[in-house]
Amino acid sequence: MPPAAPKPGVIPLKPLTLGEILGGAMSTIGRYKGPVFGLTTAVFGAYLVVVCLAAVVAISAVSDSFTTLIDTLDQPSGPEPEWETIQPFVVAVVCVAAVALIGYVLAVSIVQAALLATLQEAVLGGPASIGSVWRQALPRVPALIGASILTGLIGMIPVLFVLFALVIGLVGASASAAGDSDGAVGAFLVFGVVAALLAVVPTVWLYVKFSLAPAAVVFEKQGPVGALRRSSRLVRGRWWPVFGISLLAALMAGVVAGVIQQILSMIGMFPAMAAASDLGDHPELSEILSVFSVYLVITLVGQLIGYLIQTTFPPLVNGLLYVDQRIRNENLAQVLAESAGLPPQPPGSF
């Protein structure tokens, strides 16, 4: 009987099974709650604060224009609002949306880098504080953002093909409808639908092919292009296991998050329903808000918990998939054992 594989951290140092990958991700969350949940909550909390501040600034900037617009709309027979009146609102919305998008990309990249930096220590069984993880993660954020942008651009290729095919299908169907050719209309519509379905396959294939790039960025200090190439090499020959385990992790996180959100929502509903019975026929807005405030708070807490689960568990599973591929293909187990300070292992341990 071969000797058991050494296990300095959350996984045994050998090719991993599905249960070991999922269990390793859960163990990482359990052992390193501070870096996992603390940093994630702090980063996304800061993101929400920035977006709220941007919204407040935008609202303050267009307050005068808002009053003018309301006065114009209150006149039933008055002229339509001019572009000069509407333009400030458009600019404000675009600015807030830009801040929200840029901030979200930055926040997601920071959290992902922090989770993978934590996983590095978890695999070796070492300590990981919020400060040490932050110092490891922050320098890798630009490369992570670059890898994400490159992956998105590459993934847009089949999407653009779909849009082009749909446009052709709709134009052809419209032209055929104008000529009362029902058969041609159906043929063009079928063409558009089939093109859309066919484009899903290369999009998913590309996503899985480059799904290990974030781990390559953090673990190997790769740049964006190098990380995509590294991921492609590691996934080669193991596309289906990587796809299946990644999909399962996302589904598990989504189900657990949904259950928690539903339970907390139901818990918050009972006091709200009890207090609502005391409202009169014409309650004030302040009374309505006070009645449902507890429900709203509990619901928001549920949303936050669910979001934390969905943003932590799948990336950790993805990182362990990267480790597993390197153990299988590059004898990483021996290197990890030496890095963890383990004594020489008997033959067959890995």
Helix axes 224-235, 182-209, angle to 10 degrees: 100
CA dist., res. 313 & res. 109, Å (int): 15
Asked whether 152 and 206 are in contact (CB, 8 A), the reply is no
Asked if 147 contacts 224 with a C-beta cutoff of 8 angstroms, the reply is: yes
In a 3-state reduction of DSSP, which class is residue 221? coil
Residues whose CB is less than 8 angstroms from the CB of residue 109 and which lie 6 or more positions away in sequence, other chains included: 141, 144, 145, 148
Phi–psi pair at 180, nearest 5 degrees:
55, 40
Main-chain dihedrals φ then ψ at residue 118, nearest 5 degrees:
-65, -40
Element (H, E) at 48: helix 39-61
CA distance 298 to 295: 5
Q: Tokens 């996984």 — which residue?
A: 11
Contacts with 215 (C-beta within 8 Å, 6 or more apart), sequence order: 116, 231, 318, 319, 321, 322, 323
Per-residue confidence (pLDDT) for residue 170, from 0 to 100: 65
Two structure tokens written together for 338: 């030496």
Assign 38 to helix, strand or coil. helix
The HSE-up count of residue 279 (CA atoms within 13 Å, CB side) is 17
Q: Extract the tokens encoding 115.
A: 């989770």
**Could you tell me where the beta strands, DSSP code E, fall in the chain?**
none
CA neighbours closer than 13 Å in the CB half-sphere of residue 241:
18
Q: What is the mean pLDDT of each run of 10 residues along the chain (350 residues)?
A: 81 94 96 92 91 86 64 57 68 88 93 96 92 93 95 83 68 58 58 70 91 96 95 95 96 94 81 60 56 74 87 96 95 86 73
Torsion of CA 110, 116, 117, 120, to 10 degrees: 180
- Structure token pair of residue 17: 């099974």
Per-residue pLDDT, 283? 56
Q: State the pLDDT at residue 179.
A: 54
C-alpha to C-alpha distances, 281 to 271, 277, 292, 293, 325, nearest whole angstrom = 19, 10, 16, 19, 65
Compute and round to an integer the Cα radius of gyration of the chain.
Answer: 26
* Residue 212, both tokens: 């290990």
pLDDT value for 241: 96
